[in-house]
Structure 1
Amino acid sequence: MAEHPTGIPIQLEPLVVRVLAPNASPYTYTGTQTHIVGTTDLAVIDPGPDDPAHLAALARVIAGRPVTAIVVTHHHRDHSPATRPLQTATGAPIVGAAPFALDDAGARADASFDPDYVPDRVLAEGDSVSGDGWTLQAIATPGHTSNHLAFALPETKALFSGDHVMGWSTTIVSPPDGDMAAYMASLDKLMGRDDRVYYPGHGEAIEQPQRLVRGMLGHRKQREGQILRLLREDAMPIPILVSRMYVGLDARLVPAAARSVLAHLYDLQTRGLVREQEASWQIAA
């Protein structure tokens, strides 16, 4: 898309450059955004897919400067595969989200897992990497995936939100690795912060992050209420719930909606509000 050029560095602020990968899709929007932090030495956040054109674009931005860390928010194939050729090119360690192997028999509605992702250092809540004039502090934000991390840049009060909070859509929460209760708790955690701006993995920078996060919490609570109202009418399988809840939805996004409805149902089931019987869901007695 002309308005979203791939491979062109965009200076978001003095410490942050964004490069868009050429992997646009109904699930990645215009593509995965790689963020390069620093001036004299660098961190590369979510280098994206193993795409030669994207790697060449990153090399042009790096321009021979030392890379202190290749930082990963989570292990989906649109975020982490380029860690390996980038490490070969720069010698930098891969740090961030824990590795995770999952045999998920359910329909994948978002980018699938990167089975070859192996970090040199796993970061947990409060861990950090730093360079000349910058620090990236890990914030555990599970929900979209069990190992999802966001990264705060305290020098400018920016937050790299990965896929937990995006600039174009609510994130997919796809069980069993995705967990709706964890996702909501992670949104609550971000509400307690005072970050100035979010730089997401997909979509534009979020200039009023607290307002957006509040709206996302409200949206998920609205969907939960919608499910409960429908199940009070009658027991329903997930495809019927999706057709009633997402009228006019692009057919390509129906699998994603079904996975998020399932995540809501699992959360409601854990809370004793609904139960499953013979492939249908109903209000718990």
Structure 2
Amino acid sequence: MASVSDTADMPTGALLQISPLVGRVLAPNPSPFTYTGTQTYLVGGSDLAVVDPGPDDADHLAALVAAVGDRPVRAILCTHTHRDHSPAAAPLSARTGAPVIGCAPLALEDDGPRADAAFDIHYSPDSIMADGDRLAGEGWTLEAVATPGHTSNHLCFALVEENALFTGDHVMGWSTSVISPPDGDMADYMRSMQRLLDRQDAVYYPAHGEPVENPRRLVRGMMGHRKQREGQILRFLERNGASEVPDMVAEMYRGVDARLHPAAGRSVLAHLIDLGGRGIAAAVGDGRWRLC
């Protein structure tokens, strides 16, 4: 087993112990949208919970089974149901006998390109955790923290004993989360970010990227970034009148990898929908938006 000091770039499939109660295994699904891949967390010691089992990949499943060893798995928890997070839940449950719990099922087609995997239509939990629900094992306790925004069913999980939070895709260690309508909701996302800002977690363990050791500073920065994007949109519409999302993206994301522009457009649309709900902007009806 590697330690944090052994490697900054965790190899795919290796169990890296990052705290007394938390180990992680990186899935082999790197991309411009998932960074180095989806990180599955093993929580506990003599018994375990598995957080975000990841994609249904034979090598990743074998790595998880090896990492678990002969320890009992009390539960398999999913933060949300994008296909890079939850599909391994069912086969891992079959191998370990552990129930699948956590977020509610959600399968939804949206009308645009995604920055992440689409929804897992086969996700079928044995039970669903609501905000504040707890799951406990030998020396560990996980509490569900509802954080809708990236998806409407998104949960974070607080590890009480280490004052840590597993943040899924709500807060990532390498990039801001994409908010993709119609399920992704910018107003919900900002409310959820404020909720995290009001908490006192010492460290975040995201599904993508390294641990976040000054989480409240990062959350403040991400909220400020969203406000800056909103300001850019308002200034663009003020200068150019009724405009389409791709035109906004071309200016606002100049210098960003073009492969990410369609995903950026989803977040711009989410901002516009939020502005529409606040009576600041309105859809013209032909794909264009204007100021009210």
TM-score normalized by the length of structure 2: 0.95
- 2 CA distance for matches of 1:81 and 1:42? 19
Equivalent in the alignment of 1:184? 190
Secondary structure at 1:223's aligned position in 2? helix
- 2 CA distance for matches of 1:109 and 1:200? 16
Q: Runs of 5+ in structure 1 lacking a partner?
A: none
Equivalent in the alignment of 1:241? 248
- 2 CA distance for matches of 1:144 and 1:117? 18
Deviations 1:186-225 (A, max 9, x none): 0000011100100000000000000000000000000001
Q: Given the alignment of the two structures, is residue 274 of structure 1 paired with residue 278 of structure 2, yes or no?
A: no
Shift of 1:108: 2.5
Secondary structure at 2:236's aligned position in 1? helix
Decide which of 177, 186, 191 is 1:171's aligned counterpart.
177
Q: How well do the aligned residues superpose, as a CA RMSD in angstroms? A: 1.2
**Alignment size in residue pairs:** 284
Decide which of 34, 38, 43 is 1:37's aligned counterpart.
43
Secondary structure at 2:114's aligned position in 1? coil
- 2 CA distance for matches of 1:14 and 1:254? 40
Equivalent in the alignment of 2:227? 221
- 2 CA distance for matches of 1:8 and 1:101? 31
Q: How does 1:140-219 map to 2 (within 5 A)?
A: 140-219=146-225
Decide which of 93, 106, 130 is 1:100's aligned counterpart.
106
Equivalent in the alignment of 1:257? 264
- 1 CA distance for matches of 2:114 and 2:145? 26
Equivalent in the alignment of 2:4? none
Which AA in structure 2 matches 1:40?
S
Ranges of 4+ aligned residues in structure 1 off by more than 6 Å: none
Which AA in structure 1 matches 2:291?
I
Which AA in structure 1 matches 2:258?
A
Q: Runs of 5+ in structure 2 lacking a partner?
A: 1-6
- 2 CA distance for matches of 1:207 and 1:237? 39
TM-score normalized by the length of structure 1: 0.98
Shift of 1:249: 1.6
The 3 A distance-change label for structure 1 pair 7 and 220 is same
Shift of 1:2: 9.3
Q: Percent identity?
A: 63
Question: Residue 86 of structure 2 contacts residue 123 of structure 2 at CA under 8 Å; is this kept in 1?
Answer: yes
Shift of 1:109: 2.9
- 2 CA distance for matches of 1:164 and 1:108? 15
Which AA in structure 2 matches 1:62?
V
